[in-house]
Amino acid sequence: MDIIRVEGGHAIEGRVCVSGAKNSALKLMAATLLAPGKTTLENVPNISDVHVMGKVLKRMGAVIEVVDEHTLIIDTSAVDSWEAPYELVAKMRASTAVMGPLLGRFGCAKIAMPGGCNLGARKIDMHILGLEALGVEFDTDHGYIHATAPQGLEGTSVTLEFASVGATENLIMASVKARGTTVIDNAAREPEIVDLANMLNEMGARITGAGTPVVTIEGVDELHPVTHRVVGDRIEAGTFIVAAALMAGPAGVEVVGFNPHHLGMVIKKFETMGIQIERIDNGVRVFRCEQFAPVDIQTLPFPGFPTDMQAQVMVLSALAQGNSIITENIFENRFMFASELVRMGAEIRVEGHHAMIHGVDGFSGAQVTSPDLRGGAALVIAGLIADGYTEVSAIHHIYRGYERFVEKLSNLGASIECVALPDPIDD
């Protein structure tokens, strides 16, 4: 029953350091299954999704030592199970990332059908089609996917229908121990893909082309444990850039701990809206924008505008001087956030996968509900500039991907707190 309560109108200043990337750390944790022994991961975000992935690995027999808040030593020597159970996969769709490494190490995997944010179907058809090309046979029953490679994994050429991040990652992790060479065409190009390939290469894999549409993997017999640092979270960085654009004091806000090139299209769009962003060492400095220009945005795979920044940019466009259009091309249900922002005074009309936004003069604090991870964070950010108090419920979504979100905003000067509400009394 916890909520986040924000009082709008307080300027923020100072420096905020973003955590390691959620979407990278989860896949790197899964990849440790490929190299029996102790792999050390540094800069791991302390978030609930990481805790869930840790439970998935432990259920399989891995031993995890928490060295400090952001460093894990994962020992996969004793892994003797290849099942990702429903009660864990249902909490987080990224749990399906263990399929590729389990097939690479054991030649089999049993994965519950995925859950996670309610953003639409998010089917794993492309994962299955790609792995079938490598020689994997699938059987689905009672809510589980049974995957086996009776003849072993055989390198081949795979063309993805869509540049799916999850499918690309699963195919890379399965292919590193396949016989021969695998070529993935129309591969996802996200920075998190590059981070995964870098760690696998450090382990002894032979991967080239990560970050381009064509990834080539030459299979190897064995991989060895390594120490690897998780790349900074570009989406968390983008969220704090939005907060600074709304409420930064005269000195601005420094957002550090990430590579600005990973937010190239986002920063470009922000600058067209009138936001002043300076590149600094290991990050950016952002200044408050007094008047936002309207914007036309389409979410696309990297290097396009990321779907994970769509809700945050909607907050800005809802305050712009004029009309904006946001087109969501990745997830069909991602506009659930819009109706909550309307409760704060925004004027938004959703038609299919388009959101038409007419800029208003300001927001009013209201009681709103976090619909998903990024939408929840965006509602908190909107509360920074709203008149009065904003109370955001269902904040467990936010904790899936943002570490110490309330604390970081408070340290910048925001008037924000996490409040535990009493349990409702039954009639």
Same domain for 261 and 198: no
- Report d(CA 364, CA 125) in Å as an integer: 43
**What b/e string do you get for 83-121 counting C-beta neighbours within 10 Å, with b at 16 or more?**
bbbbebbbbbbbbbbbbbbbbbbbbbbbbbbbbbbebee
Q: Residue 203 is encoded by which pair of tokens? A: 């382990």
Query: What's phi and psi for 132, nearest 5 deg?
Result: -60, -35
Same domain for 264 and 212: no
Same domain for 289 and 222: no
CB within 8 Å of 343: residues ≥ 6 apart: 366, 367, 368
Residues 27, 192 contacting (CB under 8 angstroms): yes
**Percentage of residues in the chain with pLDDT exceeding 90?**
86
**pLDDT (average), residues 95-120:** 78
Q: Tell me: pLDDT of 362 over 80.
A: yes
Predicted confidence at residue 425, as pLDDT, reads: 52
Q: Quickly state the pLDDT bin for 427 (edges 50, 70, 90).
A: very low
Predicted confidence at residue 326, as pLDDT, reads: 97
Nearest to 108 by CA among 160, 38, 60: 60
Q: Residue 77 is encoded by which pair of tokens? A: 């020597």
Predicted confidence at residue 69, as pLDDT, reads: 93
**pLDDT (average), residues 1-17:** 96
Same domain for 293 and 155: no
Task: Report which DSSP code applies to 307.
Answer: G
CATH for 216 = 3.65.10.10
| Strand ranges (E), 281-364 | 283-286, 296-298, 323-327, 347-351, 354-358
* 117 catalytic residue (yes or no): yes
Q: What is the pLDDT of residues 371-404, one digit of tens each?
A: 999 999 999 999 999 999 999 999 999 999 999 9
Same domain for 398 and 322: yes
Predicted confidence at residue 320, as pLDDT, reads: 98
Binding site as annotated, residues for UDP-N-acetyl-alpha-D-glucosamine: 93, 308, 330
Which strand (E) or helix (H) includes residue 99? helix 99-106
Q: Quickly state the pLDDT bin for 79 (edges 50, 70, 90).
A: very high
Same domain for 349 and 327: yes
Domain span at 27: 22-229
| Angle 256-261-264 from CA coordinates, rounded to 5° | 110
Residues 381, 247 contacting (CB under 8 angstroms): no
**pLDDT (average), residues 242-266:** 97
| Angle 63-67-71 from CA coordinates, rounded to 5° | 90
Single pTM value for the model:
0.94
Same domain for 56 and 129: yes
Q: Quickly state the pLDDT bin for 118 (edges 50, 70, 90).
A: very low
Predicted confidence at residue 124, as pLDDT, reads: 77
Same domain for 245 and 222: no
Predicted confidence at residue 94, as pLDDT, reads: 67
Q: Tell me: pLDDT of 422 over 80.
A: no
- Residue tagged active-site, from 108, 117, 289, 418: 117
Q: Quickly state the pLDDT bin for 117 (edges 50, 70, 90).
A: very low
Helix, strand and coil content of the chain, in percent to the nearest 5, comes to 35, 30, 40
Same domain for 302 and 176: no
Same domain for 124 and 42: yes
Predicted confidence at residue 424, as pLDDT, reads: 56
Q: Tell me: pLDDT of 414 over 70.
A: yes
Other Cβ atoms closer than 10 A to 9:
13
Residues 117, 372 contacting (CB under 8 angstroms): yes
Same domain for 222 and 303: no
Q: Quickly state the pLDDT bin for 125 (edges 50, 70, 90).
A: confident
Binding site as annotated, residues: 22-23, 93, 308, 330
Q: Residue 2 is encoded by which pair of tokens? A: 């916890």
Q: Tell me: pLDDT of 122 over 90.
A: no
